[in-house]
Chain A
Amino acid sequence: MNTPSGLSMFAIPQLHLQLADNFQSQFWQQAESAYSHPGSRWQAALNQACLEGFLAWIQVERAANAQAWVKAASRPSFWEIVNGAAINFDGGRVILIPTPAIDFAELRVPQEWIDLPSWAGDYYLSIYVNLDDGEIQVLGYTTHHQLKQQGHYNSSDRTYSCDSDDLNSDLNVLWLSRQLCPTEILRAEIDPLPQIPLEQAENLITRLGNATQLRPRLAVPFLLWGALIEHSGWRQQLYRHRVGLPEQWSMSKWFQAGISTLGQQLGWEMIAMEPAVVLARGEQNTTTKILLRQLTIAGQPYELRVLPKGDDLWRFELHSTSTNNIPCGVKLRLLTEDLLPFANHEDIALTATDRLFLEVQVSPGDGLVWETEPQPDLFDREILRF
C-alpha cells in the first residue's frame, strides 16, 4: 500500500514553534465578545496560535510571500463556526488543522476544508497546539487527494480523518517534493455545490445565526450549509448575527457616521474628493466623500473606489496606482447579493487602460458584491448594503 511508514511520526524530529510570550493575554482580551460561546472562543485561540506560529516560520524559512488566506478581521467569522485556517504560498495552499489533543492519534479535518471548492487546499497539516507552554508542534501532513481517497469520512461530525501513522511526518518532504516531483496529484475532484436563492440564504442566516444554535455546521444538510458559507458575504452575515453585531457594510451608515470598525480593519477608507477633480468631470462644486480600498491584483497595486452619485446611483472604479496601466483582460464586476449578474455589470480592459468603471442604480436595502478578475490577494467577498 502506498502510505508512509507507520510510526514515522515518532521517528522523525518534529518542528516545534514558539508563540509570542504575550499570545494568551492578548488573545483572551480581544476574544471576549468576538465569539458566541466558550467552545468557539477556545477553538479560535487554538487556531490563532497555530496560524501565527506557523505563518512566522513559513515566511522566514520557506516562502516569504506566504499569506494567511483572509485578513485578521475576517478570521473570527471562520472560527466561530469551524476549525482550521489556510495559508497561500507560491501557488500552493496549506490548511492548518490545530488540535489540543495530547495523544497525537489522528488528523481530523472538517468537511468544509475538503469539499468547498474555494476552501480546499493542497496540503493538510496536523498541528498540536499547547497554549500552556506557548508552543505548537507540526505532527505531519497529507494531501487533499489522499484524504479524499484514503481518509475516513465521519458523518457524525462531518469530518475526514486519517490516522497519524498515515501522515507524512517529515515536513521537509512537502517542500522538497514540490521541487523534485512536481507532477504529484495533490487534489481530488470536488463536486460543485448548489446555488441557493437569496430568500433561502436569508432564512438560513436567521435560523443558524441564532446563537442558541450551538452547532450550526451540523444543523442543516452539508450541501446547503456549504453553499451558504462558501459565499463569504453570507458567512460574514451569519457570524454577525451569531455574535450580535449590527450591519457592518451599510453604505448609508458609512457615509453618515463613518466606516464601521470591521470595514476599516478590512481596508476601507473614506476620503474627500478634490472639488477640482470633480469639476473636471462636470459635477457639482461641492466636496464629495468617496470610499476606497487598496487591492493587490497579480502583484500590482490597485485601488477600488466607490462614489455616490446621488439618487441611488453609485459608481465603482478600479484604478491602477502604479505607473502601469491596467493590463488587457482585467475585469471589474458587480453581482447581486446571491451572485447573479445583471445588465452592464462588468467592465473589462479591452486594451491597457488607466481605469475600469461601472455605474449602478440601487434600491434601498439592496446588497451588491464586487469582484475582479483575476482575484485580488486575500480576496474575501463582501456584501455592500445600500
Chain B
Amino acid sequence: MRSRQSMLEIFSTFLCFEDDLVTRWIVDGKLRRSIQTCLGSSREDEASPRFWALYWHQTWQAEAVTDRSSPLGKIATNHLAAYLQEVCYWSAQKIATDLSKKQLISDFFQIAMIKLDRVIKGFKADRGTELKSYASLAFTNAIKDTLRQRQEVEICTDWALLHKVSHKRSIESLQQLGLNPDTIAAYILAWECFKTIYAPTGQGSRKLDKPDLAALNAIADLFNRELGNLSNAPARCDGETIFQWLTTLGAAVRSFLYPTIVSASQPKSASDSSEFLDDFDFTVQESLLTQTIEQEDEIDRDSQRSQLQKILLRALVKFNVESQRLLQMYYGQGLTQKEIASQLATKQYTVSRRLTSVREALLTALCTWSQTTLHKTLDPNVMNDLSVTIEEWLMGHYSHPDLHTETSKR
C-alpha cells in the first residue's frame, strides 16, 4: 500500500480493494474541493495532518450538538474517514493475519468503518491522546466484537436468536424492514409473549427449535389478551400469524446482527456525499480554526503526556513476569482472553481476573497521580477517560510501530 503524502490526499482519498488487495487510492472530488478550500484560505498552510484531524473533529463536535445530520457534520465525518484509512486497514489486517481461518481484510475493514461514527463520538481530544491511537484501539475491538457476535449468530437457530437479541436491536431490525411504528409495536408484543411462553428448558439454548402448534396458540392467546395495551390495537391473531411474525422477526434480527457485506471491490468512502455536497458552500470556520490552534498548542505544551508515560512505565515494571507476559499477549499480539487462556493452559476466568487487577493497579497509579500532582477533581467519568487512556497507551506500548506519534510540523 502506497502511503499518502500530501494533505490533499490524506483528507480526500479512500482505499480501493480488488480481490482483497489494496490497489490504489480513490479520490473523492468533493472532499478534495473541501480540503483545498481549507488549505488555501488558511494561514495554517504548514499545519500537520493531526492539526486538520483535530479541526474536523471539532467541526463534527460543534455540528453534532445542533444537528446530527448537517452537511458540514457529514463532510467532517468523511474527512475523518479518509484520514483514518490506514489505521483502519492496519487494524483489519492484523486481525485477519492473527486468525487462522481465511478471512478477508476488506471485510474487516468495512466492519470497522461502519463504527466510524462511534469512534468519532468516543474520541476526546482533551484526553491528550491521538485520534489515530484511539481509532486503532476502537477499530480493533469493534472488529473483534463483531466477529464474536457473528460467530454466535451463526451457531444459533432463529428461535434461539429471538432469545439472544436485545429489545433495542429487535426494534431496529424491524425498522430496517420499513415497518411502521404500530406494526413494530405489535411484533414486539408478540415477541415478548413468545419469550414468556417459549424458552430454552435445559442445556443447549443455541439449538432452540421451532415452537409447536400448542405453544404458538398459547402465544397467540397471550397476545390477544395483551393487545389492548397497545396504543393502536391490532386485530386478534392466531398461532399461524404469530409464527409468520416471529419468523420474519428472526430473519430480520439475523440479517441485522450479521449483515451481508456488499462487495468491497468498489471504492467505498463512508460518504454518500454526492447529493448534499453539490451545492454546498465550502468555507473554513474561522472560530473553529482558532480553537484548534489553541488546542493543538495546549497539547504540545502539555508535559502531561510524558509524565503520564513515566507514571505508567513505573507501574508497569513492578508487575511480575506472568503479568508482563499476559499484557504482551493481550496488547502486543492482540489475542483474546479466551485465546490467551488456551495458550497458557489456564481458564479464561483467571486471565480475565489477572488482566482486571493489572489494569486496576495502573488506573490507581494514574488516578492518584492526577489527584495529588495535577490536583484534578476526579469523578467516575474522568476516571473512565483515564482508563481509556491507559488502554490506548498499553496498545501503543506493546504494538503498532506504524502508529508512532506524528509530531507536529508546526
Contact = CB atoms under 8 A, between A and B. Distances in A.
A binds B: yes
B359 A172 contact: yes
Interface stretch (A15-23, A264-272, A292-300, A302-310): A15-23
Interface string B160-199: 0001111111000000000000000100110011011111
Interface string B70-101: 00000000000000000000000000000000
A5 B166 contact: no
B381 A3 contact: yes
Given A8-B384, A57-B353, A170-B363, A132 B205 contact: yes
Interface string B184-228: 010011001101111111111110000000000000001000100
Given A25-B203, A101-B164, A177-B379, A170 B367 contact: no
Contacts of B142: 7, 10
Nearest to B355: A13
Given A5-B388, A106-B168, A132-B205, A16 B348 contact: yes
B351 to A, nearest CB: 8
A13 B337 contact: yes
Contacts of A15: 352-353, 356
B121 interface: yes
A165 B164 contact: no
Contacts of B378: 177, 180-181
A37 B166 CA distance: 21
Nearest to B360: A172
Interface string B133-171: 000011001100100110011000000000111111100
B201 A41 contact: yes
B202 A7 contact: no
Given A101-B165, A102-B149, A184 B380 contact: yes
A7 B122 contact: yes
Interface in A212-271: 214-215, 218
A135 interface: yes
Nearest to A167: B384
Contacts of B196: 37, 39-40, 214-215
B166 A8 contact: no
Given A5-B122, A132-B206, A176-B360, A17 B381 contact: no
Contacts of A25: 203
B355 A2 contact: no
A339 interface: no
Interface secondary structure of B, over-half rule: helix
Interface secondary structure of A, over-half rule: mixed
A101 B371 contact: no
Measured as residues with beta carbon below 8 angstroms from the partner, the interface class of chain B is 35 or more
Contacts of B192: 157, 215
Contact of B166 (A11, A42, A57, A99): A99
A218 B360 contact: no
Contact of B352 (A16, A37, A161, A176): A16
Contacts of B188: 156
A92 interface: no
Nearest to B194: A39
Contacts of B17: none
Contacts of A170: 359, 363, 383-384, 387
B205 A100 contact: yes
A344 B126 CA distance: 64
B163 A184 contact: no
A131 B149 CA distance: 15
Given A28-B202, A104-B145, A105-B168, A11 B388 contact: yes
B395 to A, nearest CB: 9
Nearest to A60: B353
Contacts of A103: 149, 165-166, 168-169, 257
A173 B124 contact: no
B349 interface: yes
Contacts of A105: 166, 168-169
A197 interface: no
Given A18-B349, A176-B364, A184-B380, A11 B257 contact: no
Contacts of B63: none
A189 interface: no
Contact of B380 (A38, A157, A173): A173
B238 interface: no
Given A18-B347, A102-B153, A172-B359, A180 B367 contact: yes
A168 interface: yes
B229 interface: yes
Contact of B197 (A39, A45, A131, A174): A39
A108 B188 CA distance: 15
Contact of A13 (B164, B204, B359, B364): B359
A102 B164 contact: yes
A8 B201 contact: no
A151 B381 CA distance: 16
B400 interface: no
Interface in A154-203: 154, 156-157, 159, 161, 163, 165, 168-177, 180-181, 184
B122 to A, nearest CB: 4
A38 B141 contact: no
**Among B115, B355, B367: residue with most chain A CB under 10 A:** B367
Given A135-B348, A172-B356, A38 B201 contact: yes
A197 B377 CA distance: 49
Given A7-B138, A37-B197, A108-B166, A102 B152 contact: yes
A212 B202 CA distance: 22
A6 B120 CA distance: 9
B164 A184 contact: no
Contacts of A37: 196-197
A90 interface: no
A148 B257 CA distance: 29
A152 to B, nearest CB: 10
Interface string A124-166: 0000000110010000000000000000001011010101010
15 contacts: A4-B384, A6-B121, A7-B122, A11-B141, A16-B348, A18-B349, A38-B198, A42-B201, A100-B205, A101-B169, A104-B149, A106-B167, A170-B363, A180-B367, A181-B379
What are the 6 A-B residue pairs with the smallest beta carbon separation, nearest first? A42-B199, A10-B141, A7-B122, A39-B196, A18-B349, A101-B166
